[in-house]
Amino acid sequence: MDDVTREDAPAPEIDTSRPHPARIYDYTLGGKNHFAADREVADQALAAWPSARVTARENRAFLGRAVKWLVTEVGVRQFLDIGTGLPTTDNTHEVAQRMAPECRVVYADNDPLVLAHARALLTSSPEGRTAYVQADLRDPESILSAPETRELLDFSQPVALMLLAVLHFVPDEADPAGVVRTLVDRLPAGSYLTATHVTSEHNRAETDAALRTNRNAGIPLGARDSDVFARLAFSGLDLIPPGVVLVSDWKPETAGSRPLPSEVSLYGGVARKP
């Protein structure tokens, strides 16, 4: 195991009274790392939008397929995963290092509970490395300039930037497109961006009710239509076929039945920086 953390960094205080998206997502996936405030918001949102559990599972499945494709089809060996969420099964480094043990992964999240679990769960293969940065996507420079990022990632070689289920927490007034540009501009040519985003296009009444529940709890969760998401995330990049689609429709590994669009309500895509 070879992982990087700042041992002298003070542990941020975890506010258990305020819900956090990473812990709500963990609860929705059936995890155990959440508190009463998280469960209260999640249960209210699930009552309004019962298929949110399907959305969460499909997002994780998309992550696995996208990472596998990046490693095996185009040879990516470096990942910057922002909005990591709490460690669970088949995290980015686990999928990547299963295919190529030498892969390096830097994770970033703004939930202190993720940091509390990072040292124990984000363990690397002997050939590769992992690191964790306590930072917010809305401050991309803090992620790019972090010692862990600079030490692990070689920005002269392609990097896969992973923004899964996180851009929908960045409202328009926080300039999400500018955040993405800042990150992508620092990546060398031949790098990739993988992103997913909630939409209400296929199930407007239920998803909008769930979004209101989150916003009323202080979580700025907002849906965007496919064309808006595509412009926000992938402008100037070359989308990999099939483009921006529901995550369940992105390079499915089996020909079996898939969830209905109204159950998924999450777009995703992978694009290359020319």
The predicted pLDDT at position 114 comes to: 79
Q: Cα separations (Å) of 234 from 38, 146, 160, 215, 239?
A: 31, 25, 13, 26, 7
The predicted pLDDT at position 121 comes to: 52
Nearest Cα to 76, choosing from 112, 102, 111?
A: 102
pLDDT along the chain (274 residues), means of 10: 46 76 83 86 88 92 97 98 84 95 94 73 82 94 97 97 96 97 98 98 94 92 96 98 98 90 97 98
User: What distance in Å separates the CA atoms of residue 91 and residue 73, rounded to the nearest whole number?
Assistant: 19
**38 in helix, strand or coil?**
helix
The predicted pLDDT at position 220 comes to: 92
Judge whether 53 and 46 are in contact, CB under 8 Å.
yes
pLDDT in tens, 78-132: 999 999 887 777 899 999 999 999 999 999 998 877 777 776 556 788 899 999 9
| Strand pairing category for 104-109 and 78-82 | parallel
Amino acid at 13: E
Q: Which two tokens stand for residue 15?
A: 């506010």
**196 in helix, strand or coil?**
strand
* CA 73 to centroid of chain Cα atoms: 21
User: What distance in Å separates the CA atoms of residue 254 and residue 199, rounded to the nearest whole number?
Assistant: 24
The predicted pLDDT at position 8 comes to: 42
Q: Which two tokens stand for residue 85?
A: 């969420």
The predicted pLDDT at position 9 comes to: 47
Please return the burial class of 226, using the count of CB atoms within 10 Å of its CB with bins 0-12, 13-18 and 19+. middle
Q: Which two tokens stand for residue 203?
A: 């199930």
For residue 186, the number of C-alpha atoms closer than 13 Å in the C-beta half-sphere is 19
